[in-house]
Structure 1
């Protein structure tokens, strides 16, 4: 029996999935608890790479050795946009084969997609990219620009850069130089999707550290072979170039060309594949819909909101903090239980909440707002209902039902942890996209999608 392994290095957890003939045989996930304090304070969103890889090891230990021994090919996906740096001098030393552990040395934190260090003024100061995608804070090359201008000495310790997935591929395959897929390159900024190359001429004029830019390859290309026995996965097993988690999540659930995927987890996306002959050479920063390289020469039309389950988590934390002032202690589970069990979706509610507390890439200054407050509508449940409605309305404004219908989309597949657990969000999706068929309860899974793609690429 031959199987395919998909690994997802996500924002809050790591997951591994093993697939055969399009069906998942086994899976395991672990929280990373990788967030660390940033030297620049609240604007920095950084993670400990060692904690991410420790969670990965725990996932593999949770899978049977017999199943791991059947893996024919590995495909790694994970959180897009982010960047980390390392020294190629130490790549061969990072995996301790005797202890079967990763020992990270001479590597930076992972600066994630949530990073806010690149202000609007800073982004305005950067050269315009020759790309159909606009540059935003949290994008790898924007972060590298920031580091080169404000922490240039820090950069001198490193000679390689990539996503955390590219870093893992380099370790597993013993690569001296990272190879990045077009999917991840596009998510970094300053990448020409038509020419499939970096905007090096533009970047060099601004003294950007171009020597850090990875090589680029199409999804499905083999980056290298496993250089050691990894648990029971055999040395010599091919490893594909890493791909995007949004693309893999859509790939895992989409089956028909007239379907779109509505996913709400930490953030929120609505996406569908589309064939494009070419893409524009310049971005439209104000457009809420962007096109990212997908699989099989398609692009993925994506309305990607920075606001999803993270907003609801902030609301729960706020309630806990307020209660703490009165000496009351309630766990997050208790607060969630009260909010979800006691809220009726039929309650009349005149409160309007624009729930964009984390801004949006196409409108970074658009923060949250509350209006319509009256003396009789400030009940906790009514406020929570308005917050849930506002989250879905935000995505509806980014990608309206009329836009989907014009593109031939007739059905929405709802997925993600928030949609699965929150009946209020479910009801709002049905209400706001009611002119389309809605199927909720589906399960998108980036690790599963990566494994599926690995199998499909092997058989094509």
Structure 2
């Protein structure tokens, strides 16, 4: 048996699979996000441990025999978080999360240093880890002076699981300290933020062992023998492992809290000016590109909260048959935007409201706004040399056939819906645990699920979608200047 642990922004998911990759059981435990000031987003790492104990505890009560047979554990987690650890491995402050934008000034300063783009292949985004440490140095110097290790969120879980300071390439590529082509920490970039390699975790590949489960936890969970903890992956790379998106030409679109258009690459293809992320994949000698939007289902959930209606009800009002874009345009920049704008301070807007605008029209506009933001990512990926001919849809938003038809039509590519099953980050993490524990060939393990259904572009609406996308594109520079 193999256990995948996925540390998400809103909860921890634990999943058990067997050696045939059949899902035996899964459990989740919720997490909250603290927003003490505008633009801030934090979590207490102790809550990650509590949630993991709760999720695994549920599996122990429901699948105790299977849990006891676990030989490998894989980790996945939300990226870019700054978890600051003191000399005694104590947490120094709440973790600053991926969607925290307080360090936009520090990010701009680091990005102006040409070494960062040259070595990492990426813009220094405010959500990345390095500018967060620069902010801490500028605003919390006492804490900065005590930092013994900087860990990414899933790697703090690893520290608790194994007692070791270890990370892997896919997650570390999102820090702005990794030489992404060489797959190694850069002394130059660390020095630019007054840090050293000694303050970084040891690096392994995602498919390699990254420690062994501590005896105390193994005993608590009924496990015996050496339980390998894999290097694992950042959440998007882990999802790619779960979806089998590991070979050149494969791609997926994720409609989760944030939105991602992800393409696997056999070579390192950076183009930082496009605001496309060029990161290491979880497999050795493999990279990936992705366009990232900060609010996908988060935008629909915001709309649901404002209207006092559930996201499911709002989606159901639209039905399944795609309609031509209406007169209202929504810009989904509720917490800034990454691809293609790299703008932490931009905020969302409805444009074109009228007396006759209904809740249904606003819902349609919200979905279209997210769709057009993903189209922005497609255009950025194209400019970076990546061609996408079809995508597989994952994430909570992919349950809406309307949304998928909108994406297929705006991107001009078929959208595949995988057969029933959970192929997300927790499944990918479990697969990584399997590979690390058994030494299996990753390509033979990371296979794609069967396609249950394909949503094709609605050709009759292609021209109206193109017109609406051009209108959408014109609005960012208009509101940015205000």
Call closer, same or farther: CA 1:205–1:23 in 2, change over 3 Å: closer
1:110 is aligned to 95
1:324 is aligned to none
Among 13, 16, 29, the alignment partner of 1:15 is 13
Among 357, 370, 373, the alignment partner of 2:350 is 370
2:462 is aligned to none
For each residue in 1:36-94, what CA deviation from the matched residue of structure 2 results, as whole angstroms up to 9, or x when unmatched? Answer: 243xx1222001212221111111112122111111111111111112112342x5xxx
Q: Is 1:248 paired with 2:234?
A: no
Contact 1:166/1:242 (<8 A) preserved:
no
Call closer, same or farther: CA 1:216–1:335 in 2, change over 3 Å: closer
What are the within-5 Å matches in structure 2 for residues 25-424 of structure 1? 25-38=23-36, 41-63=37-59, 64-89=63-88, 91=89, 106-119=91-104, 121-126=105-110, 127-128=113-114, 129=116, 130-175=119-164, 178-205=165-192, 207-208=194-195, 211-228=198-215, 229=218, 230-234=220-224, 236-254=226-244, 258-276=249-267, 278-279=268-269, 284=272, 286-294=273-281, 295-320=283-308, 334-344=309-319, 345-346=322-323, 349-362=326-339, 363=341, 364=343, 365-376=345-356, 378-400=357-379, 403=382, 407=386, 409-420=388-399, 422-424=400-402
**Counterpart-to-counterpart distance in 1, 2:152 and 2:381:** 36
**Counterpart-to-counterpart distance in 1, 2:266 and 2:68:** 38
1:429 is aligned to 407
Call closer, same or farther: CA 1:387–1:21 in 2, change over 3 Å: same
**Counterpart-to-counterpart distance in 1, 2:151 and 2:97:** 12
Report the alpha carbon displacement of residue 296 of structure 1 after superposing the two structures with TM.
Answer: 3.8
**Counterpart-to-counterpart distance in 2, 1:348 and 1:361:** 24
Contact 1:34/1:48 (<8 A) preserved:
no
**Counterpart-to-counterpart distance in 2, 1:425 and 1:140:** 32
**Counterpart-to-counterpart distance in 1, 2:302 and 2:45:** 24
Report the alpha carbon displacement of residue 156 of structure 1 after superposing the two structures with TM.
Answer: 3.6
**Counterpart-to-counterpart distance in 2, 1:132 and 1:217:** 20
**Counterpart-to-counterpart distance in 1, 2:189 and 2:259:** 32
Report the alpha carbon displacement of residue 181 of structure 1 after superposing the two structures with TM.
Answer: 0.6
Matched residue of 2:434: which SS? helix
1:454 is aligned to 433
Report the alpha carbon displacement of residue 9 of structure 1 after superposing the two structures with TM.
Answer: 0.8
**Counterpart-to-counterpart distance in 2, 1:348 and 1:147:** 44
Q: Is 1:440 paired with 2:428?
A: no
TM-score, length-scaled by structure 2: 0.80
Aligned length: 419
Contact 1:226/1:234 (<8 A) preserved:
no
Report the alpha carbon displacement of residue 122 of structure 1 after superposing the two structures with TM.
Answer: 2.8
For each residue in 1:267-303, what CA deviation from the matched residue of structure 2 results, as whole angstroms up to 9, or x when unmatched? Answer: 1111121111x555xx62x314222111242111211
Specify every segment of 5 or more residues in structure 2 that has no aligned partner in the other structure, as ranges: 442-482
Report the alpha carbon displacement of residue 369 of structure 1 after superposing the two structures with TM.
Answer: 3.3
Question: In angstroms, what is the RMSD of aligned CA positions?
Answer: 2.6
For each residue in 1:78-133, what CA deviation from the matched residue of structure 2 results, as whole angstroms up to 9, or x when unmatched? Answer: 111112112342x5xxxxxxxxxxxxx544312110111112x3322234413212
**Counterpart-to-counterpart distance in 2, 1:202 and 1:397:** 29
Report the alpha carbon displacement of residue 7 of structure 1 after superposing the two structures with TM.
Answer: 0.8
Call closer, same or farther: CA 1:205–1:291 in 2, change over 3 Å: closer
Contact 1:137/1:143 (<8 A) preserved:
yes
Matched residue of 1:34: which SS? coil
For each residue in 1:425-450, what CA deviation from the matched residue of structure 2 results, as whole angstroms up to 9, or x when unmatched? Answer: 1221232234x332125543111111
Call closer, same or farther: CA 1:335–1:12 in 2, change over 3 Å: closer
Call closer, same or farther: CA 1:173–1:151 in 2, change over 3 Å: same
Matched residue of 1:188: which SS? coil
Contact 2:278/2:289 (<8 A) preserved:
yes
Matched residue of 2:433: which SS? helix
Matched residue of 2:126: which SS? coil
Matched residue of 1:297: which SS? coil
**Counterpart-to-counterpart distance in 2, 1:106 and 1:137:** 22
Contact 2:29/2:54 (<8 A) preserved:
no
**Counterpart-to-counterpart distance in 1, 2:232 and 2:244:** 20
Contact 1:254/1:260 (<8 A) preserved:
no
Report the alpha carbon displacement of residue 262 of structure 1 after superposing the two structures with TM.
Answer: 1.0
TM-score, length-scaled by structure 1: 0.83
